[in-house]
Structure 1
């Protein structure tokens, strides 16, 4: 198998990997920034830690480094438009993304938390490791805010979905 063929097959395989949709936010001085990410997961219970994979060319990465904090805003099924804005589909950048997407509350560290997200997980940056085209940001959890009553927004096969989209038989499995 050629390298190009492997890359194409890998890309197609990753489209089958369903993931929750998150908006990662940060604030350094008076500058807020953020991005949409699906490469997010819990890392450890002790210490409570999360990891986020961010493309090396994303501007928010330098602001995460400078502030030392980031917030993982776990989106609900009603927040697809917010994901699109932070993914760059509206053309908005930096502060404009926040102005287009609803209300935000600063965390104890000042990091923006999206009001109405399923959960906001504020992390203090512990380390950044470079791997290929991305940086792996590891943070210790410093604050959590929970919201009840909705289903998470999921992304797979190049489209948004929800857990409620699964047939009942698949949910029971």
Structure 2
């Protein structure tokens, strides 16, 4: 039995892992911080994400996990295009605004930071460490999230300085 959690191994049993224990364990994972953006006929939308991963370099493809409960979630399936903006160390205010940690919501979040329209018509963040403009090639619903798989059609490299990361439910600069 694991002393820290009080839970033993699930050898052949189907006892699910308790959600709080899972969240605590995942809070110990260091993750890069991104603001993922899109544009529809209704306007711009975005959210803060740490669940971003490279899928392949041939063709360049990445995935993003999007909580379906957030207000902007439907826009990402409708738009068919999105940008993944990797945040620099000094861009914590952006992560907070797009992560729902402030009173700023909707389109007004784009007043934080400097944005321009990318090649695919999506908001791209000036000063991001890197921005990946993607065309949605697959969206899968898994549990509470949509897994968006995007083919990268444009990359913008910004300054290669300190990056923003997330660990222990807080931001840090690495």
By the TM > 0.5 criterion, same fold? yes
Residue of structure 2 equivalent to 1:7: 19
For residue 101 of structure 2, give the secondary structure of its aligned residue in structure 1.
coil
Residue of structure 1 equivalent to 2:79: 67
Distance 1:30 1:114 in 2: 20
Q: Offset of 1:152 from its aligned partner?
A: 1.1
Aligned partner of 2:130 among 103, 116, 119: 119
**Correspondence 1:138 to 2:168:** no
CA RMSD of aligned residues (A): 1.3
Q: Offset of 1:30 from its aligned partner?
A: 5.0
Residue of structure 1 equivalent to 2:172: 161
Residue of structure 1 equivalent to 2:11: none
Q: Offset of 1:59 from its aligned partner?
A: 2.6
Aligned residues: 161
**Moved >4 Å (runs of 4+):** none
Of structures 1 and 2, the larger Rg is shown by: 2
Q: Offset of 1:6 from its aligned partner?
A: 2.8
Q: Offset of 1:158 from its aligned partner?
A: 1.1
Distance 1:149 1:56 in 2: 32
The answer as to whether partners of 1:26 and 1:60 remain within 8 angstroms in 2 is no
**Structure 1: which 5+ runs fail to align?**
164-173
User: Which of the pair is proportionally richer in helix?
Assistant: 1
**Correspondence 1:48 to 2:60:** yes
Distance 1:122 1:11 in 2: 30
**Structure 2: which 5+ runs fail to align?**
1-6, 8-14
